[in-house]
Amino acid sequence: MMTGAKKDIIDAIGWTPIVKLNKVTTGVDSEIYVKLEYMNPGGSSKDRIGGFIMDRAIAAGKLKPGGTIIEGTSGNTGVGLAMWAAVHGYKCIFVMADKQSVEKVNNLKSFGAKVVVCPTDVEPDDPRSYYSVSKRLAETIPNSYYVNQYDNLWNRETHIATTGPEIFEQTKGDFDVFMAGVGTGGTITGISTYLKTKMPKLTTVGVDVEGSIVAQFARTGDMSGARSYVVEGIGEDFIPENYDFKVIDDWVVVGDKESFLMARALLKQEGIYTGGSGGSAVVGALKYAKTLKEPKKILVILPDSGNRYTSKIFNDEWMMSKGYIDSSFNVIIKDLLV
Ligand code: PMP
């Protein structure tokens, strides 16, 4: 084994850098820092849960060699699992909602995984939903394991055991506020659970998306009124088991358009290439910073890479077709061509 080398790609997960934002924060007194989870080898924070959960599932005898991993995924968890499966010799079937970008579907197929696409706008207990289809597949395919990142508590334990300690070691606890977008709740719950054991004064703020019911449920207990939205990876129409609302102190809710414009601004102004949910998290951090009476240091998770969204957020035609930008965005290019 060569000195300094990682033993395999799974060993290369983690220790992602934390970077200060310098331009999109203009006019805000607080300092905002982002942890670039897109620098994980599979391109997202979900690489972490893929390996951690599967190591435990195998140790617990839930899947025998050569078996099939089944998961409902917005794409990133699928890549994390597929990467682990490639190294360890397992098959994968991923069940995705039809709103996810074509890049994510193609990524998973490139790993050799089978991908089943289901309708987005059906209730979770509808037999066509990606939750129901995943469960049914796991029941019918022998030697298969349904990961279920929503209710499998090894998801949040990944972040209690790895991401939380990593952040504390990197920063020595030199920040006041921790913020992350919320999907399964694993990232925010796990990291916050660990950090609060070391940093009793830490405030943790969840970033939810308009149309999701998570922040509303946390504030009022009301789970009704879910609407569809376009940002991928955050927001839910139910409350997964991975949430522990005791470690989430406050909430900010952001919209699709501002999230996408921020993802583009992060690339153009800071050179930081994150996806829509990273844009949401930074918009949330700016909104939260504006409510503070005194400047704080805020650490924000950027879950995945913008290159998963080249057909959407980083495609002017798509952005225009959705009404997120107008045609004046193209004027400069047209002028240059004359
Ligand atoms: N952003 C993206 C792009 C994601 O794929 C996910 C995972 N669903 C999240 C944010 C939210 O992370 P978590 O599920 O741990 O709450």
Residue-wise pLDDT for 28-51, tens only, equals 999 999 999 999 999 999 999 999
Single-letter amino acid, residue 26: T
Rounded CA-CA distance 101/117 in Å is: 11
Q: How many residues does the chain have?
A: 338
Is 46 one of the annotated active-site residues of the chain? Answer: yes
**The token pair that represents 136 in the structure block:** 């049914």
Rounded CA-CA distance 96/282 in Å is: 26
Please indicate whether residue 236, judged by its CB atom, sits closer than 6 Å to ligand 1: no
Could you tell me which residues are beta bridge partners of residue 250? 205
**The token pair that represents 262 in the structure block:** 């921020």
The pLDDT score that the predictor gives to residue 329 is 62
| Full DSSP string of 31-53 | EEEEEEGGGSTTSBTHHHHHHHH
**Cα distance from N-terminal residue to C-terminal residue, the chain:** 58
Tens of pLDDT, residue by residue over 116-175, are 999 888 887 889 988 889 989 999 999 999 999 999 999 999 999 999 999 999 999 999
Q: Is the pTM of this model over 0.90?
A: yes
Please indicate whether residue 183, judged by its CB atom, sits closer than 6 Å to ligand 1: yes
Nearest CA to ligand 1 atom 10: 233
| Nearest atom within ligand 1 for CA of residue 186 | 15
Chain centre to alpha carbon of residue 216: 20
Selected residue with higher pLDDT from 216 and 327: 216
Beta-sheet pairing, 203-209 with 114-118? unpaired
Rounded CA-CA distance 43/273 in Å is: 11
Please indicate whether residue 182, judged by its CB atom, sits closer than 6 Å to ligand 1: yes
Single-letter amino acid, residue 117: V
Mean predicted confidence (pLDDT) in 194-219: 98
Q: Is the dihedral of CA 264, 269, 273, 279 positive or negative?
A: negative
Tens of pLDDT, residue by residue over 298-325, are 999 999 999 999 999 999 999 999 999 9
Strand ranges for 29-156 from DSSP E: 31-36, 68-72, 91-97, 114-118, 144-146
Nearest CA to ligand 1 atom 3: 233
Mean predicted confidence (pLDDT) in 236-258: 97
Rounded CA-CA distance 161/118 in Å is: 33
Rounded CA-CA distance 316/43 in Å is: 23
> How far is the centre of ligand 1, averaged over its atoms, from the C-alpha of 330 (Å)?
32
Please indicate whether residue 43, judged by its CB atom, sits closer than 6 Å to ligand 1: no
**The token pair that represents 287 in the structure block:** 């909104």
The active-site residue, picked from 46, 104, 257, 312, is 46
